[in-house]
Amino acid sequence: MKINFNQPHLTGKEAHYMYEAVFAGKLSGNGKFTKACQAWFEQRYGFRKCLLTSSGTDALEMCAMLCGLKPGDEVIVPSYTFVSTALAFLREGAKVVFADSMKRNPNLDAESLEALITPRTRVIVPVHYAGVACDMDAIMAVAEKHNLLVVEDAAQAIDSYYISHQSSVVSRQPLGGIGHLAAFSFHETKNITAGGEGGLLVVNDERFVRRAEIIWEKGTNRAEFFRGEVNKYGWVDMGSSFLPSEVNAAFLWAQLENIDDIQKKRKQLWETYYQRLQSLSEQGRFTLPDIPDYATNNAHMFYLVLPSLEARTGLLAYLKEHEVFAVFHYLSLHSSHYYHDKHDGRALPECDRYADCLVRLPLFYDLGTEDVNHICDLIEAYYR
């Protein structure tokens, strides 16, 4: 039985809505489906302003532009993340200062954050790895103390929450709704896709709303013109073409309509993995995903952390031999070919450990419980 690492899921309505968009005769961005998707996020999660983008990378680039960075300004980014998290800010002329991960999970270590802050620091970029929240109360407190902006890379974090235990009142905040700005991705490897590529910019801080719309619409005040707020539109600021076509928005709409079903199925599969692999974890073969008490699980990913690179190589090879395509994940950005010489030389040992030891197991909607059981049987057989 061959099991791929990922397979994009179709809810069944995608082609129907795309057909509708095509025959409505308005294919460019910011039409009916784009507005419906944006309103859906604003209503369901209480985000102040949402703008669909062509990718998560685009949304991060918009965030970086909105931060108004000057050359030499510093941005703190975890080293264990996708290239786009760092690249978006580097393109704005910022210096990227890489932070290490926590021991308990790959997220940015909030406790070591303050040591990285200098008079040039402007932005902190927490990445909610596997859709599991970073310690946002701690991060927001550091940001407030030093007057910094917080941009959440919520690319993997749709429908996941941070549970704040501050001042004895327990409150649930959706990820992407805590920092000043946030970015989601609808790439085909994420829980919800816009037909392969797509993203969303979230603006939580009122100060950035107007400029976000302008940057989104190629530096023009076109959005205000269409709302009838100005009687002509023109070039007013920096910008680019960040908005996706209506065809992609139509695809995304079909997925958003089914989000509860998608999340429920993914969580069931995730739980099956967790229960089946618990005893091997107790024997010290690997550790299972960590969900702190301030976080929820959106079942974006099921990963194991092995004790060494050799142990990981062995397990991956065994699974591949049995046609199960498990994969490793990020290589440390601070020691990448492109950034190595620009990094300040600090060792980031936890990040390197995840780069060497983390394994992602197949997890997608159309995977069956029997497939997960088959993968767990193989893993048990390997350690026997």
The binder of ligand PLP chosen from 11, 30, 38, 55 (CB under 6 A) = 55
Nearer to ligand PLP, 124 or 277 (CB): 124
127 makes contact with ligand PLP (CB under 6 A): yes
Q: Does 221 bind ligand PLP (CB under 6 A)?
A: no
Residue in 107, 185, 191, 204 binding ligand PLP, rule: CB under 6 A:
185
**Which of 61, 74, 152, 153: binder of ligand PLP (CB under 6 A)?**
153
- 31 belongs to the binding site for ligand PLP (CB under 6 A): no
CB of 144 to ligand PLP, least distance (A): 24
- Tell whether residue 51 is a contact of ligand PLP (CB under 6 A): no
Q: Which stretch binds ligand PLP (CB under 6 A): 17-25, 38-46, 51-59, 305-313?
A: 51-59
Q: How far is the CB of 56 from ligand PLP (least distance, A)?
A: 3
We find the least distance from the C-beta atom of residue 156 to ligand PLP, in angstroms, to be: 5
* Contact partners, residue 227, CB within 8 Å, separation at least 6: none
244 versus 378: smaller Cβ distance to ligand PLP: 244
CB closer to ligand PLP out of 51 and 127: 127
Nearer of residues 14 and 285 to ligand PLP, judged by Cβ: 14
User: What's the Cα-to-Cα distance from 243 to each of 64, 200, 361, rounded to whole Å?
Assistant: 16, 9, 33
Q: How many CA atoms lie within 13 A of 367 on its CB side?
A: 30
Residue nearest to ligand PLP (CB): 56
Does residue 82 belong to the site contacting ligand PLP (CB under 6 A)? yes
| 187 lies in the binding site for ligand PLP (CB under 6 A) | yes
Residue closer to ligand PLP by CB (options 220, 244) is: 244
What is the C-alpha separation between 131 and 88, in angstroms, rounded? 20
What's the CA angle centered on 131, arms 7 and 329, to 5 degrees? 60
State which of residues 199, 244, 289, 362 lies at the interface with ligand PLP (CB under 6 A): 199
Using the contact rule CB under 6 A, the part of the chain among 38-46, 77-85, 159-167, 288-296 near ligand PLP is: 77-85
Q: If binding means CB under 6 A, how many residues of this protein chain bind ligand PLP?
A: 14
Q: Does 56 bind ligand PLP (CB under 6 A)?
A: yes
Instruction: Indicate whether 85 belongs to the interface with ligand PLP (CB under 6 A).
Output: yes
Query: In the complex, what is the shortest distance from the CB of residue 199 to ligand PLP, in angstroms, rounded to a whole number?
Result: 5
CB-CB contact of 149 with 139 (8 Å): no
Residues contributing to the site for ligand PLP (CB under 6 A) = 55-57, 81-82, 84-85, 127, 153, 155-156, 185, 187, 199
